[in-house]
Structure 1
Amino acid sequence: MSIRIGVTGWGDHASIYPDQTKSDEKLEVYGSHFPVVEVDTAFYAIQSVSRYEKWVNQTPESFRFVIKAFQQMTGHDRTSKSVQEAKDLVKQYEESIQPVIEAGKLQNILFQFPPWFNVKKENIKKLRLIKEWLEEYPLALEFRNRSWFTDEYKDQTLQFMKEHEWIHTICDEPQAGESSVPIVEEPTHPTQTLVRFHGRNVHGWNKNGRKDWRKVRFLYRYNEEELQEWKERVERLKKQTPEITLLFNNNSGGDAADNAKQMQELLGIEYKDLNPRQMDFFNF
């Protein structure tokens, strides 16, 4: 399967869930619509092995997980750690995701760094260490600081990612200053590229003094023209990278699942090996 399309998380996509769907049934239903999902809860806490085992069992054999790195591994908690403390934390995280790895369902581990993670030697050293500690796994890298892709550093950033086989997370997001990155359409990994769609809500992207900024940040619905632009980009990327994962994160207003379905239709993709849907039980 060369192109997998899904959304970030599986809890809030009302358009794909029948009424009265229980929360612990949602992943199973989700797996009847999409072949991949991002585990965003892993960002907020290291999940238990038993939870990953449950998720593995609720999804079809061909299903894949993009698992976000824990926020203390990416520096979102703003606490300083010794190299040994950081290494121990990575080890704890690695042990937690083993059920997904053993089932062959890991698409990649996503390291999304905070807006203050800019180009400097200390941060490049951190990227080297993470890759060293998790060298056997596919690791995706997403920046939230524009400095990595300025004219001065863009080529060096991409070359560094290629040398260390970081999967480039290409972002479609509002162009709202230093804390956003442009669309950089270039794969850096031999086999994988990840694309994340955050919407284009410029006014909601940064806090701007708003208390409810988290609720509106991803409030956006991609229109047909914007998705058509991405169809053309994906067609170009297909010629450069064997596997592409497209994840829609524009779900403040519940638009992600619908946009993901639209993209699937635009690309002419029909997934065959998903979970059965209840409505199909009567179609013999």
Structure 2
Amino acid sequence: PEHYSPPPENMLNMEYNPSDHPRASTIFLSKSQTDVREKRKSVFVNHHGSTRRKHSSCSTIFLDDNTVSQPNLKFTIKCVSLAIYYHIKNRDTDGGMRQDIFDEKLHPLSKSEVPSDYDRHDPEQKQIYRFVRTLFSAAQLTAECAIVTLVYLERLLTYAEIDIGPGNWKRIVLGAILLASKVWDDQAVWNVDYCQILKDITVEDMNELERQFLELLQFNINVPSSVYAKYYFDLRSLSETNSLSIPLEPLSRDKAQRLEAISRLCDDKYKDARRAAKKRSASVDNLVGLRWVPAILS
């Protein structure tokens, strides 16, 4: 009889990789769970403190200016930076495999001397946010690109079996942004454009970073819409547990008219679908009142 041999462990990991499969839980959300209790305490304090949330009234209605099809840029960058922060803070203790292309000591992003303890101190969330925001602002990237950046980052960590830490996070994030901007945005940012943002980095270094990033991703740059939506909603969940307020805007007259028009259109389509369904099928209730005619057999 043939003996069953289980698939390799890395194949099992790929099967449950959240960057490929919509049902697999995102890594950043699970890594943030260790701090959920502390965040809940801070939420309670903020609730009873001076922090105030906008509420709708009879005169003004506030709407959530952040949807899956049109995410808010500043809010999304904050959430993605927070996700990266939790990746670094709650990384695995074994360190994973080492990839020299991401090592900031071997490939510095500036001419300033890299400190000897560059890989020992975790960056603060504000530092990560400033780094990501600077790249997105200078390259004029979209909020959707930020979500795809996080997908590529988690795909890299899974495929290459590496951890993101204080000594490599900047170059890993840079490589993910570089790739996401070329795949997602219609007007791609060239590698030389990033050299204008990061003055001391060379085009050759950027090209090599992109090439090795692609190889470690096994050239899988596809992001299904279901995976994209999952990351968007998980980022919203992350913001709620970390007291990141979603931007609210007062409902304007023009926006109200657009929403009313969309509502009427959906209502008309729903009514048309119900009429079509009635014509296609009949229930037992519709048989009441019908006149029965005896059949004549010849």
Q: TM-score, normalised by structure 2?
A: 0.24
The structure whose residues are more often strand, as a share, is 1
The structure whose residues are more often helix, as a share, is 2
